[in-house]
Structure 1
Amino acid sequence: MRKRNHYLINQKTVLIASEFDNFGKELSRIIEGKKTFLVNRRPIQIIDETLKYYGSSLAGATQGSKAILGDKYNLPIAVNPRVFNILIPCKTSGKKGNLWLAYSHIIHPEKINTRSTRLHLNFGHSIILNMKRRNVESRQQLGALLHIRMIERTTRGATILYEPNSGFIVIEKSGEYNLDVRKDKAKMEDD
């Protein structure tokens, strides 16, 4: 199978997982829709490059999540909240690498035993995680909360009303940086 050298996360990205080649180099296994392929980048690099493409970074997205959700452990990050692109980290402790799931592609977690959970995902996929179901659900809920709060914050106050001659008039005086602020047009015309 030929490996890709570059990848941008999109609406069909279901998961990004670390996979190691025979020499121990970390690559990324991508599941996108019904396809799967390898990318010659670590998951963290793919996430950071995608965020930079959209004008952010992994550090910025992480700080944003902390500002919105508080200083919690394993916070989700928003690649693009308007199209439900929220990624949830699901790395199992003691394992090398990373596993990131797209919050919008999780259908439901199913308890296998006290330490394992099968996640049913869109496009007919499933993955077994060595995590308790309640831990998986907790991360899924944090992803949902991040999504809701970001949508609320980006849509709040979006209505702008314009009524001509109802506000203040600001005039830059000739040759000065002082501004003259006046309430009515009549006083302005007198000057």
Structure 2
Amino acid sequence: MERVMNYIIDNEASIIMTEYDKHGNELSIVFDKDKPMMIETRPFELLNDSIKAYGYDIFGAFRGSRSILGNIKMPPINVNPRKVMIWFPCSSPKDRECVWLAHAHIVKRERLGRKKTRIYFKYGHTLTLDISTYSFDQKMKKAAELHVYLIKEEVGEYMGNYYGFDIVKETGNRNYRIDNRSSDLFEDF
């Protein structure tokens, strides 16, 4: 396995997990497309260093996610605000055994037992974790929610002040009526 001193997470990476070397040092294994690499830093630090390379830090990423998703435990985070790369922890990020997964690379999951789930990735990898499918599905749901929110914000869908048109087909008419809207459709939400 290739050993790397420095690594910045990009959109080809799919899994980050802890590995201990023969001296007991905590390192990271990153699955980048079709090859695993050993990175000489802990997963939490690797994520933080990568996020810093994109202009902020992991604590800001957690705060940002919570401002969108509510005050949830172990929220997913966006590692790169320019490309929307959502990662989520499978256990507490404080846990040294925490595995981080890239939401965009997950294809499906399979229940193997009460608290055992196999995850399938787009490059053909599988990962079996001690997590219930219910917990895993909840983490995927929150990651998807964050992903959709950030994509919609990027294209301006959550910016407000949309006046647009009301398009209505009234009973008995063959054509639609198009009316200009005089107020923001979303102001009551």
Q: TM-score per shorter chain, which class?
A: 0.7 to 0.9
Matched residue, 2:58: 58
Distance 1:5 1:40 in 2: 5
Matched residue, 2:70: 70
Distance 1:157 1:145, change over 3 A: closer
Distance 1:127 1:8 in 2: 22
Deviation string 1:28-54 (CA, Å, 9 cap, x unpaired) is 001010011100011111111111111
Greater Cα radius of gyration, structure 1 or 2:
1
Matched residue, 1:152: 152
Matched residue, 1:177: none
Alignment of 1:69-88 (within 5 A): 69-80=69-80, 83-88=83-88
Deviation string 1:14-36 (CA, Å, 9 cap, x unpaired) is 11101111222110001010011
**Number of aligned positions between the proteins:** 159
Distance 1:118 1:92, change over 3 A: farther
Distance 2:83 2:123 in 1: 17
Deviates more, 1:21-30 or 1:128-137: 21-30
User: What displacement does 1:155 show?
Assistant: 2.6
SS of 1:123 mapped into structure 2? coil
Runs of 4+ in 1 over 4 A off after TM superposition: none
User: What displacement does 1:108 show?
Assistant: 0.6
Matched residue, 2:139: 139
**Larger helix proportion, structure 1 or 2?**
1
Matched residue, 1:125: 125
Is the Cα contact below 8 Å between 2:14 and 2:102 reproduced in 1? yes
Is the Cα contact below 8 Å between 1:82 and 1:151 reproduced in 2? no
SS of 1:49 mapped into structure 2? helix
Matched residue, 2:182: none
Structure 1 residue ranges without an equivalent (≥5): 160-191
User: What displacement does 1:84 show?
Assistant: 4.4
Normalising by structure 1, we get a TM-score of: 0.77
Alignment of 1:24-63 (within 5 A): 24-63=24-63
Q: CA RMSD in A?
A: 2.3
Distance 1:49 1:15 in 2: 16
Same amino acid, percent of matched pairs: 30
Normalising by structure 2, we get a TM-score of: 0.77
SS of 1:120 mapped into structure 2? strand
Distance 2:13 2:38 in 1: 13
SS of 1:124 mapped into structure 2? coil
Is the Cα contact below 8 Å between 1:81 and 1:151 reproduced in 2? no
User: What displacement does 1:60 show?
Assistant: 0.6
Distance 2:68 2:28 in 1: 28
Structure 2 residue ranges without an equivalent (≥5): 160-189
Matched residue, 2:5: 5
Is the Cα contact below 8 Å between 2:54 and 2:81 reproduced in 1? no
